[in-house]
Structure 1
C-alpha cells in the first residue's frame, strides 16, 4: 500500500432508513406503502440497527477503523411539524458517544434521502420554508451533540436523479411508475404534490437543484453558527467519466449536467463528499460499455474509478475530498475482496500525486435496504440474516481491515 496522510479517516458509511428499521414517519416509508409503488419491497425492520447499533459499532471498531458515517433521521426527531422528540435526540446522542467510546470519529449526515412525511406532503424541498426548516433540524442536532462530531454532510447525493437520467439508468416504464406513485402519494396525503429526495420527476430537476443548494447553505450556516471549526460539505454521486478518442465533448457535457454545479457550490465548503461506484466511458456517439467483468450495476469493474472521480472533484471544487461512499454491488464477495485493496492503492497514488483526501468510508457496513431495489443488491462487508438479523462478516471485511492496517504501516510521505 502507498502511504496515506496522518489522521486519515478510515471508516464505513451507513444510512438510517436503510439500516435502522421502522422509520414510519418518513416520506420513503409512505412511498413504500403507496399503491402503485416503485419500491420492490418495503423496508420494514431493515437491519434493526436502531436497536443493535452498539454491537454494530463493535464490528466497525473490530476492523481497526477510525470513523463511522451515519445519518440522523429527521423523521424520527420531528415526526410531526413542530413536535421534537427529545427521546430520539437522546438515541442519536448515544450513537455518537458509543462511536467515540470505540475510537470512531462520528461523521453525521443530516439528510440521507429520507425526510419527514409531513415535510414532503407540504411541498418537500420546493416549499418556501424548506431551507429554514432544514436549518432548524441542523441546529437542534448541533445543540445536542455537535461538540462531538468530526464532520457533517448536509445532503446525500442531491444530484442522484441527474446521474440516473444522464446514463438512462431507469427505463421509461420506471419513470412512469415513479410519476404514478408520486401522484398516488399526493392523493393519499391530501396534498397538492408529493416528492422524496431520491424520487423526483425529470421536469422538476432544475427546481430541486436550486432548492437543494439553498437548503445546503442554510444547514451549513446553522451548523457553523454553533461550531465554526466543524467541517461541513455536501456529498455527490460521481462516476469517473473517461473520454475515448472523440468522446471529450460528450464527457464534458455529462460532467456539466451532473456534477459541476455541486463542485462549484463546494468551493465555499470545507470539503466535497465523493460517492463513487463506477467508471463511464464516452466516445463520439455516446456512452460505451466495454468488455470485462461486470458489477451488479451492469458496469465494468474498475478499481481505479475512485481515484479518477476524486481527482476531478478536487480539480473543480478546489477543496479537500472526503470519500463518503465507495463500494461494489455484487453477490460474489471475492470480487469485493479483490476490488477494495486495488481501489485503495489507486487512491493512495492519487493522494501521493497531490490531491488532498481526508478519509475513506466504504459503503457499506452491512447488506441493507437499497431503496427502490429492496434487499436484492449486496454491497455490505457483513451479511444480515433476513429472519434473525444475525450479522456475519464476509471475507471482504477482513480484507478491508488488512488493507487499512497495511496503509497505516507505511510511513507518511514527507
Structure 2
C-alpha cells in the first residue's frame, strides 16, 4: 500500500445547479426552458441535493472520505440585484456546519457556471459592472459564512470561455481542418451540445426575449468570450479574492482551471506551447496573490504539425468521448508545478461511464500519478473526484454518468457504487499497488 500524507484531502465534488434542483432564478434554468432550447432536457428537481445533502454527505463520510467540494448558488443567494436572501444563505450555512460536525473539510466554489438571470440581462460576463456585482456577492458570502470556509474557489474553470470561443470559430469556418488526419481543437471539459451553428443562432434569438436584451448581448459564463470578457473574469477573481481576504484573511483562496495534458508528436511542439499558454500560463499574472490553484483534468490532447490529432477508432474513450487516459492528471500536475510553487488542489478529475469497474480503474491510475507527484515533492494537497452524484451534465442532460453514487430520479433513491467505497478506502488505508492491467500504460 502507498499512503498519502495524513493531511491529504480525498473526497468528491458537485456543482449546485447540477444537483440541487429548481434553481429557478438562474440563467441556466431560463436557457433550459426556452423554446428551441439546446438542452436535451431541463434540470427540474435534479437529484434533489438541496434537500438531501445530509444523506449524500453521510454516504461520503461512511465511505471514508475527508473532503467535499460544492458550490454556493449565486442565483439563490442574490435572486434579485442587491437583494440577498437570508433563507438561502442560512441553507448553505447548514450545509457547511454539517460538514464541520462530521470532520469533512468543505471546499466552496462561489461561481460554478450558473449565474443569476438578472446578471445576464445587465450584460453578463462581458459587462464591466459584473466585477462590482461579483465582489459584492463574494463579500456577502464570506461576511455571513466566513468562519466556516477554509477554502474558497472564486470561479470554476475561469478559462472555459476561451476554450468555447475556439469551438465557435471552428463551427463558423474561421478555423480550417488542415488534413484528413488532424482536426482543430473541438473539445472542452464540460457538457455542451453544439450540433449546428444555425441551431445555436435560433437558440440565442429565443434567449434575447427571455433576458430582454439583443441576442448578441446574451453573455452567460459559457458564452464564447472576447479579450475584454477574459479580463473581466480575472478582475472578478482578483476583486473577490481581495474582498474575502479583507473580511477573513485566514481563508485560503484560489481559482480553478480546465487543463488538458497536451502532448506533442514531432512537429507539434509549437501547437502544445500555444495551447498551454491559452489554458494556463497566460492567467498566471492574475493569480500571484492566490493561496492555491484548483486543477481540473479529464484527458489529454495529442498535437501534430497541423494541430490536435484526431484519435483513431481503436482509441479507448469515455462516454463523453474523451480519450480514456487517467495518466493525464499526473502529467498536468508536473507541468503546472514548473510554473506554480504554491499548493495544488485537484478540484475535478473523473470519468463518465456506465461501467463502474472502469471508474475504479480510472481512479486507481489517476491517483497513482498524483501519489508519484507527492512523493517527488510537488505540493499537491488534495483530490476531489468529479462527481459525487450522477447529475445534470448541462446541455447533455442526465445521460452522462460521472457519479460515485447513482440516483433513481423517479424516487431520488441513492445507490452508492463500488467506486465510492474504493475512493474512501484510499483515504483510510492507502493506494494499492498497481494491478497488472494498470502497469501497461498507453503511450503516444
Classify the TM-score, shorter chain: over 0.9
CA distance in 1, matches of 2:284, 2:399: 32
Question: Of residues 196, 199, 202 in structure 2, which corresponds to 1:177?
Answer: 199
Q: Report the counterpart of residue 142 of structure 2 in structure 1.
A: 142
**2 CA distance for matches of 1:336 and 1:90?**
35
Q: CA 1:226–1:176 in 2, change beyond 3 Å: closer, same or farther?
A: farther
Within 5 A, what are the aligned runs for 1:265-276? Answer: 265-276=286-297
Aligned: 1:222 with 2:238: no
Of 32-41 and 211-220, more deviation after overlay is shown by: 32-41
Counterpart residue number, 1:59: 59
After TM superposition, give the deviation of residue 8 of structure 1 in Å.
1.1
Corresponding residue number in structure 2 for 1:108:
108
Q: Deviations over 1:197-236 (max 9, x none)?
A: 12x13xx332221110000001101111111121111101
Give the SS at the match of 1:130: helix
Among 192, 196, 202, the alignment partner of 2:220 is 196
Total equivalences in the alignment: 407
Alpha-carbon displacement from aligned partner over 1:302-334 (angstroms, at most 9, x marks no partner) = 121111111222222332211001101111111
Local SS of the residue matching 2:45? coil
> Quick one: distance in 2 between partners of 1:171 and 1:197?
15
Rounded to whole Å, the distance in 2 between the matches of 1:373 and 1:177 is 15
Moved more, 154-163 or 326-335: 154-163
Go from structure 1 to structure 2 and tell me whether the alpha carbon gap of 1:4 and 1:263 turns closer, same or farther (over 3 Å shift): farther
- Aligned-residue offset at 1:105: 0.9
CA contact (8 A) 1:38 1:174 kept: no
Return structure 1 stretches of 4+ with deviation > 6 angstroms.
none
The Cα shift of 1:172 comes to 6.6
Verify the 8 A CA contact 1:39 1:374 in the aligned structure 2: yes
Instruction: Tell me by how many angstroms 1:409 deviates.
Output: 10
State TM-score, norm by structure 1.
0.94
Equivalent residue for 1:391? 414
Aligned to 2:382: 359
Q: CA contact under 8 A between 1:368 and 1:380: conserved in structure 2?
A: yes
For structure 1, the 5+ residue unaligned runs are none
Distance 2:198 2:280 in 1: 25
Matched, 1:256 2:274: no
For 1:136 and 1:251, the matched residues in 2 are separated by 38
Asked if the contact 2:127–2:229 (Cα under 8 Å) also holds between the matched residues in 1, the reply is no
Q: Is the 8 A contact 1:20 1:45 kept in 2?
A: yes
Distance 1:158 1:76 in 2: 21
Q: Distance in 1 between matches of 2:386 and 2:284?
A: 21
Q: 1:297 to 1:226 in 2, by over 3 A?
A: same
- In the other structure, the counterpart of 2:428 is 405
Change (3 A) 1:178 1:5: farther
Q: Is the 8 A contact 1:267 1:319 kept in 2?
A: no
Match of 2:252 in 1: 231
Retained in 2: the 8 A contact 1:123–1:194? yes
Q: Please tell me whether the aligned partners of residues 57 and 102 of structure 1 are also in contact (alpha carbons under 8 angstroms).
A: no
When structure 1 is superposed on structure 2, of 286-295 and 372-381 the one drifting more is: 286-295
Q: Give me the whole-angstrom Cα distance separating, in 1, the residues matched to 2:315 and 2:426.
A: 25
Task: Tell me how far 1:173 sits from its aligned partner.
Answer: 4.0
Distance 1:173 1:395 in 2: 35
Structure 2: stretches of 5+ with no match in the other structure: 168-184, 434-444
Native 8 Å contact 2:389 2:405 kept in 1: yes
Residues 1:347 and 2:370 aligned together: yes
| Partner in structure 1 of residue 156 of structure 2 | 156
Contact kept, 8 Å, 1:33 with 1:42, in 2: the verdict is yes
- Report the aligned-residue RMSD: 1.9
